[in-house]
Amino acid sequence: MSTAPPQPSPLPDAQTAADSEVVRRVLDSSARLLVLIVANVLIAVAVWEELPAAAVATWGALVVAHLLLRRHALRAAAMDALPLPRKLRLFVAYGVLAGVLQAVPLLGFPWLGETARAYLSIILMGLSTGTVASCTGHPRLCRAYCIPVLGGLVVAWLLSPSAAGANGFIDRAIGVLILLFMGILGAVARNSYQTLIDAHAVRLRERELNARLQEALAREREAGTAKTRFLASASHDLRQPLHTLSMLAATLVLRPLDERSRAIATLMAEVSESLNGQLDGLLDISRLDAGVVRAQMRPTPLQPLLQRYFAEVEAAAREAGITARLHWRLPQDLHVQTDPALLLRVLRNLVGNALKFTPRGGQLRIDAEPGPDGEGAVLKVADDGIGIAPAHQAQVFQEFFQVGNDERDRSRGLGLGLSIVARLAALMGIAVTLDSALGQGSCFTLRLPAAEGGAAATEPLAVAAGAAAGPLALNVLVVDDEKDVRTSTCLLLAELGCDCRSAADLAQAEAALEGFRPDLVLADFRLGGNASGLHVLAAARRRRPGLPVALVSGDTAPDRLREAEDAGVRLLHKPLSLAALRPLLDEAAAARGVRPDPA
């Protein structure tokens, strides 16, 4: 059962987050303590000679006591445990106390000279500005400190003895200017605090969007996993009866039949092969999802690869009534950096797609041209078929999407070919582009990089094994929990001249191994109980190390594919054709030293 993705934790509102940052800044403002000490020392020096020394010393002692008390209280461990509103109330109280203490020297304003008044005013206005900066304009903290300080300074200038004299205009004007400064500073504080709130709102919005994105990605991954499990399960359930049909059809084709019976048997084999091809598309998707497909990049001569493949294309095109052409515009010895097997798989899917959607009498063209800068190669697979509308050109690379197949004609596949092309090309680092117009055909372009380090020794391309070889005298053990599969496989092996024994589970397989010496063991992956085909193959190889073995399974789940790969065991997929089974029999015959009887 799938589990729901984790829900994102609730996010604080922007103002609360802003207040938390203000508290953090105030607690970390150790530099401001030094500024306050220096400023108060300067104030004491400025008024020392004009005010009673005892009063100045008492004020200085109170300021120092307040600063030490504030520092101790704010650094206490208990402060961390306080809720945010309580911290703000404490800061407001300390701000009021600090503002009042800073304003105390203004009580002696009438007895100060003009220079001392200006000096004191500049210091107090500077301290007020620094308070706004240190608490990022928090309204309550700014008012707590600035109203006593600046308000007291305005009153001191407006009510000074010289303000009532004949030349008191300047004192009153200074008081009004300080009042204006107080208003401007308040506006700056509000803007700073609002900017801080807006910044946190943006951060919180980003966090919320990121949380939603992670939740959406989790749902997407869960949906992808569920889809993969469904495809694997559906593929397994379909492959079992199709495997039986394939074995029986191959057996009939090998037997002597009259003309009509052979036509029926051949049609059965063709239908089975068609369904097998569609299921192989699901298998390719599962392999790619499982990460068991790895690109083996190496320098590869492009011309022989294309020429040998084009021979296949010509035959298929001729049968479909389509003209196929290969245009080579590259040096004959050009090597590209690619995985030849995966590149052929990509070309087969592109060409197969073109053949499906090009009518009889149409044309298919494969062009091999130099890369944009003369490096590497550009391969183009073009047709003059039905084409693809611009609105569908991105969708054709999605799984199960098909253009022009509303009736779901099974001969046109399941809509997986181009999805597999895109994945394999990405695996090899090859760029794939599409140029198409509705009713004017399509052109798929592959850009291949030049080979790294020059040409390398080439390996011959594998040729599909056929069923033309003669019968073999082999002992084969078939282990499968479904009776129909065991029976049909043994019928085909017997028709090939093999002595076949069958078992339904691990216990029966171990019992069969006691009195039977197999040359080859074929085991289904899923068996009854807690055993699997891997247990059967391990038991067989304990008795005979190096024995040719293979898993034959309809299970295409990514986990099963990885499990087989990790075990280093060959994995064949149901429905198994005679062409796929014969190389395994030939390998077992070679290991035993048995030669096929002439057919």
**pLDDT at residue 238 greater than cutoff 70:** no
Coil vs helix vs strand at 252: helix
Residue-wise pLDDT for 325-364, tens only, equals 888 888 888 888 888 878 888 888 888 878 888 888 888 8
DSSP at 324: E
Residue 467, both tokens? 């069923």
Mean local confidence (pLDDT), 439-449: 86
The whole-number pLDDT of residue 180 equals: 94
Residue-wise pLDDT for 359-389, tens only, equals 888 888 888 888 877 788 888 888 888 887 7
**pLDDT at residue 597 greater than cutoff 90:** no
Range(s) for CATH 3.30.565.10 in the chain? 298-448
Instruction: Specify the CATH number of the domain 227-292+465-599.
Output: 3.40.50.2300
**Of 184, 144, 118, which Cα lies nearest the Cα of 26?**
144
- Assess contact for 561 and 290: CB atoms under 8 A: yes
Q: How many helices (H) and strands (E) does the chain have?
A: 18, 12
Rounded Cα distance, 334 and 328, in Å = 11
Rounded Cα distance, 378 and 37, in Å = 76
The whole-number pLDDT of residue 247 equals: 77
Residue-wise pLDDT for 90-124, tens only, equals 888 888 998 899 889 989 888 888 888 888 999 99
The whole-number pLDDT of residue 266 equals: 74
Residue 468, both tokens? 């033309």
- Assess contact for 397 and 418: CB atoms under 8 A: yes
**Of 129, 165, 177, which Cα lies nearest the Cα of 149?**
129
The whole-number pLDDT of residue 227 equals: 65
**pLDDT at residue 401 greater than cutoff 60:** no
Rounded Cα distance, 431 and 369, in Å = 15
Assess whether the previous peptide bond of 545 is cis (omega < 30° from 0). Answer: no
What are the backbone dihedrals phi and psi of residue 124, each rounded to the nearest 5 degrees, phi first?
-65, -40
The whole-number pLDDT of residue 9 equals: 42
Residue-wise pLDDT for 240-274, tens only, equals 676 777 777 777 777 787 788 777 777 777 666 65
Residue-wise pLDDT for 512-545, tens only, equals 888 889 999 999 887 877 788 888 888 888 888 8
The whole-number pLDDT of residue 462 equals: 37
Residue-wise pLDDT for 163-193, tens only, equals 566 567 888 888 899 999 999 999 999 999 9
- Assess contact for 113 and 50: CB atoms under 8 A: yes
Mean local confidence (pLDDT), 221-247: 68
Rounded Cα distance, 57 and 36, in Å = 16
Question: 229: pLDDT confidence band, cut at 50, 70 and 90?
Answer: low
DSSP assignment string, 431-473: EEEEEE-TTS-EEEEEEEPBPTTS-----PPP----S-S----
Residue-wise pLDDT for 28-37, tens only, equals 766 677 788 8
Range(s) for CATH 3.40.50.2300 in the chain? 227-292+465-599
Residue-wise pLDDT for 42-51, tens only, equals 888 888 888 8
**Of 360, 361, 366, which Cα lies nearest the Cα of 312?**
366
The whole-number pLDDT of residue 185 equals: 92
List all residues 6 or more positions away from 253 whose beta carbon is below 8 Å from its beta carbon: 262, 265, 266, 269, 467, 578
- Assess contact for 480 and 500: CB atoms under 8 A: no
- Assess contact for 327 and 368: CB atoms under 8 A: yes
Residue, of 8 and 233, whose pLDDT is higher: 233
DSSP at 13: P
CATH of 298-448, one of 3.40.50.410, 3.30.565.10, 3.20.20.30, 3.30.450.20: 3.30.565.10
Q: Residues 502-535, buried b or exposed e (16+ Cβ, 10 A)?
A: bbbbbebbeebbeeeebbbbbbbbbbeeebbbbb
The whole-number pLDDT of residue 393 equals: 62
- Assess contact for 257 and 265: CB atoms under 8 A: yes
Highest mean pLDDT among 3-17, 321-335, 455-469: 321-335
